[in-house]
Amino acid sequence: MKLSTIFAAIIGAVIAGGGTAYYYQQDQNPAVSQSAFPVLALDKAHPGEINSSSLVNLSNGVRSVPYTLDAEAGLFYKIAVTGALRAQISVLQNGMLVANSNQSDSKASASVLAFKAETGGKYDVIVSGIDANAYGPFSVTATPLKSYVGGVVEAGMDITEIAMGRKQSFTLEVKEPAVYTIDMKADQGQVDPYLDLLDRSGREIASDDDGGDNYDAKIQTYLDAGTYTIQTSSALGADTFNGTYRLIINKADIPEVSLKSGDVLTVNGEKQAGLYMGDQQNFSFELAQPTFVNLKVDALGFDADVELDGLPISFPRRQNDGSTRAILPAGTHTVSIDGSQQGVYELTLGGNNLPPNVDDPRITPGQSIHAIMQSGADRVTHTLTIAQAGNYVIDLGSPSFDTYLSLQKDGFVIAENDDIDYNNDNLDSRVEVALQPGEYQIQVTMWNQPTRSRDYTLAVERK
C-alpha cells in the first residue's frame, strides 16, 4: 500500500485532541510503501521524534510518524508512547481506523492505547502530536496483553487488562493467610477504577473507589487461604468501562500474632501483634501509680477504631496508625480495637514516671485545680471521689486549647461535653450530672498533641 493511500484513508476519522479529520501531506515519492515504515518489535522501546520534517495534517498542522505492527488474530496489544512529546496514537488496518487514544489533555506527556487485532496481519501505528505545537522526542512500545479475565490470579502478579464496556471478574487464589493488597490503576480510556472483592459464596468482603493514588482503587485486607473473586469496573458505570488498566496483587509479610481479646497488657514498651477478624477486641492494663502512658497502634489491612478508656485516639487521614500520650491515674484501664474489614495490628504500650512538677491527678468536690497538659500528651485522667449522692457540675477550661471533657465509671462514659457554647466561641466544657458515692474518672482531652505544655483549670461543685 502506498504511503499516500494509507494517509488518505484516515480522512474523516475524528481524533480527540485535534478534533478534525486527518489529511497528511503526501510523500513526494508515491512509490514509498508500507514496508518502509519502521517495524515495532514487541516489548522493545523504539525511539522517535516529531519535528518539522514529519508528516503533517494539512487541516490542523498536527505531525505524525508511522510504524508497522505484525499482529496475531484475536490478541490484545498495548501501544505506549512516553517522553517529551505530548502524543496521541491511532491504529489502522487496510486504511480503516481500528482505535485511537482519545487523548484530550493538552498537557499530557504520555499516551496509551490498547486494541484487539480481530484479524492477523499488518497494522499501521501512527504516533502524532496532540496539536500543531507538539514537537519532541518520544519512545513507542508495543506489548501483547495476556488476558486473565475469567482466569486465575495470585499474589505477585502485575497484569494489564483491557476493559470492553462491562464488568470483569478474576479468580484470586490465596495460598496462605496474610494481608493482601489489590491495586487497580487506570492506564487509558474511560477508566475510573472500582474494585469488589467477594468470598467463595459471592458475599462482598470489601469494595473501593478512590482508595489508591488519584482516583485509583485499592483494597487491603486479611484473607485466609482459599478462593476469592476480584471484580473490576468503573465507578461511572460498567457501560463506561473502556480502556486499559493494571491489576496488581501483593502479599504483605505479617508479624507473629500473640494477642487475643481479653488479654491483660503489660506496660513495657514492647510491640505485640493481634489479628482483627471483624469483632471488637478488648484489653486491660494496670497502673500502680499515676503514669505518663504512650499507646500506639499500627493497623494493616483495615481501618482501625481504637479507644483508650472509652475515648478514641486519633488516626491521621488515610493512614492506619494512631497514637496517644496520656497522663493516667493508678488503677485499671482499657483499650479496645474495632474497625472495618479484617487485618493485623501491632500494639505498643509503654509508660514513664510523671515529671516532678505534675501532681497526683486527684480532685474532690468543692476543689478547683490548675493543672498542666504536658508537652506531647493529648489527655489527662483525674480521679474524682464522691462521698455524698447529689447533683454535681464539672467545669473544664483552658486559655490555650479546645477542651473535651468525659466523665467515666468502671470503663463506661457517664457524661461528656466538647463545647459549652460553640456558636458564641465558648469552647470550654461542662457536664451536670447526678452521682452516687464512689470513684469516677474525669478525662481531659485535646485532639492534637501540643508541642509545648499547656495549662487548664478543672473544678467540681455539688449543686
pTM: predicted TM-score of the whole model, two decimal places:
0.60
Q: Is 303 exposed, middle or buried (0-12, 13-18, 19+ CB in 10 A)?
A: middle
Which pLDDT does position 28 carry in this prediction?
37
Query: Which of the four pLDDT bands, split at 50, 70 and 90, describes residue 369?
Result: confident
pLDDT at 8 over 60: no
As a whole number of Å, the end-to-end CA separation of the chain is: 99
pLDDT at 61 over 50: yes
Query: Which of the four pLDDT bands, split at 50, 70 and 90, describes residue 202?
Result: very high
Could you tell me whether strands 390-397 and 429-435 are parallel, antiparallel, or unpaired per DSSP bridges? antiparallel
Residue given cell 465507578 in the structure block: 235
Average confidence score pLDDT of the chain: 84
Which pLDDT does position 124 carry in this prediction?
94
The residue with greater pLDDT, 76 or 354, is: 76
What stretches of 57-210 adopt beta strand conformation (E)?
63-71, 76-82, 87-93, 96-100, 110-116, 121-129, 136-145, 152-153, 158-164, 168-174, 178-186, 193-198, 204-208
Which pLDDT does position 316 carry in this prediction?
54
The DSSP H or E segment spanning 3 is helix 3-8
The DSSP H or E segment spanning 284 is strand 281-287
- Cα separation of 334 and 421, whole Å? 31
- Cα separation of 254 and 273, whole Å? 9
pLDDT at 67 over 90: yes
Query: Which of the four pLDDT bands, split at 50, 70 and 90, describes residue 25?
Result: very low
CA distances from 258 to 156, 177, 178, 343, 346 (A): 27, 15, 15, 14, 10
Length in residues, the chain = 463
Please give the domain boundaries of the chain with CATH numbers for all domains.
3-145 (2.60.120.380), 152-252 (2.60.120.380), 271-353 (2.60.120.380), 362-462 (2.60.120.380)
- Cα separation of 156 and 250, whole Å? 5
CA 118 centroid distance within chain: 37
Mean pLDDT for 90-109 is 72
- Cα separation of 99 and 365, whole Å? 80
* pLDDT tens-digit readout, 226-279: 999 999 999 988 888 888 899 999 998 888 899 999 999 999 999 999 999 889
Percent of the chain surpassing pLDDT 70? 85
Strands ordered across the beta sheet of 158-164: 158-164, 242-252, 178-186, 217-223
